[in-house]
Amino acid sequence: MSNVLLSVRGLSKNFGGLAAVQSVDMDLQEGVVTALAGPNGAGKTTIFNLMTGNLVASAGDVLLHGKSIIGKKPHRIAQMGIARSFQDLRLFTHMSVRDNVLVAVEPESWFWQPGGKAAWHKRLETVEKALERTGLSAMADKRAVDLSYAETKFLSLARILATGSKIWLLDEPASGLDLNSRNRFINILREATADGVTICLIEHNLDVMTQLADRIAFLDQGKKLAEDVPEKVLRDPELIAIYFGKSQSGN
């Protein structure tokens, strides 16, 4: 069995009377792409928010390399090597494309960064590589707010790419992309996994899911109903019925 980098145990989150996540167990294994699937409101993004410290769990634990990270602030968890993207991208809209990525590789919040000039040049090199890989080099000086939709998606990915983190949590990263852009996007993610990156992604597009995911964890109403290889999960009539709605299950 592969090395487990990140795992959740009995993870639960209640918002008042609503149980958004109910006792979920899951392991993210090194170099494996795990997709979180399920209808809207299944608790997928909430699980990401719990893993990254943006929400405090009502119960359960999140373990990074076997050590609990529950209660840690989001910026500390990011510094520990977990990078995430957001469904609504959350770019730094009034900053340039280059600065958007540069922010992601500057670890300190003080007046200076460690490592002097050598480290500065290395960071710049990392940024340029990430921009080149995502096809954004030509628009490095543009403001993020002036990019097209597809470009904003690639900028979101470039920031993650540049961090050098080995665990990526991607929330609908390829949604709304045209076929060409989507294929380019998928290729970048495949290359990352070949380099040892572990990805957990939330995705509604079945094409993307089947092309990328090694495993699918299926959730509904906060509960994990199944976790297996895509061929099995996507052929389970009960899960498909939940995913597409009961009325379509007979089709």
Q: How far is CA 75 from the centre of its chain?
A: 16
Pick 153 or 215: Cβ nearer another protein: 153
Mapped onto helix, strand or coil, the DSSP state of residue 47 is: helix
Q: Which segment (20-28, 30-38, 90-98, 186-194) binds another protein by CB under 8 A?
A: 90-98
Residue 26 touching another protein (CB under 8 A): no
Binding mask 113-142 for another protein (x = CB under 8 A): x-----------------------------
Quote the least distance from Cβ 197 to another protein, whole Å. Answer: 16
CB of residue 119 to another protein, shortest distance in Å: 11
Q: How many residues bind another protein (CB under 8 A)?
A: 33
Q: Where are the strands (E) in the chain, listed by range? A: 4-15, 18-29, 33-37, 59-64, 67-68, 82-84, 167-171, 198-202, 215-220, 223-228
> Within 58-87, which residues bind another protein (CB under 8 A)?
73-75, 78-79, 83-84, 86
Nearer to another protein, 108 or 207 (CB): 108
99 binds another protein (CB under 8 A): yes
The 8-class DSSP code of residue 111 comes to: S
82: nearest Cα among 196, 192, 4, 198: 198
Tell me if 146 contacts another protein by CB under 8 A.
Answer: yes
Nearer to another protein, 34 or 165 (CB): 165
**Residue 81 dihedral angles phi and psi, to the nearest 5°:** 110, 20
- Window contacting another protein (CB under 8 A); options: 62-70, 98-106, 208-216, 228-236: 98-106
Q: Does 182 bind another protein (CB under 8 A)?
A: no
In the β-sheet with 18-29, what is the strand arrangement from edge to edge? 18-29, 4-15, 59-64, 67-68
**Shorter beta-carbon distance to another protein: residue 110 or 251:** 110
Contacts of 58 by beta carbon, 8 Å cutoff, 6+ apart: 12, 13, 14
Give the nearest distance from C-beta 120 to another protein in angstroms. Answer: 9
The Cα 56–Cα 168 span in angstroms is 20
Question: How far is the C-alpha of 184 from the C-alpha of 171, rounded, in Å?
Answer: 17
Residues in contact with another protein by CB under 8 A are 52, 54, 73-75, 78-79, 83-84, 86, 90-95, 99, 102-104, 106-113, 143, 145-146, 159, 163
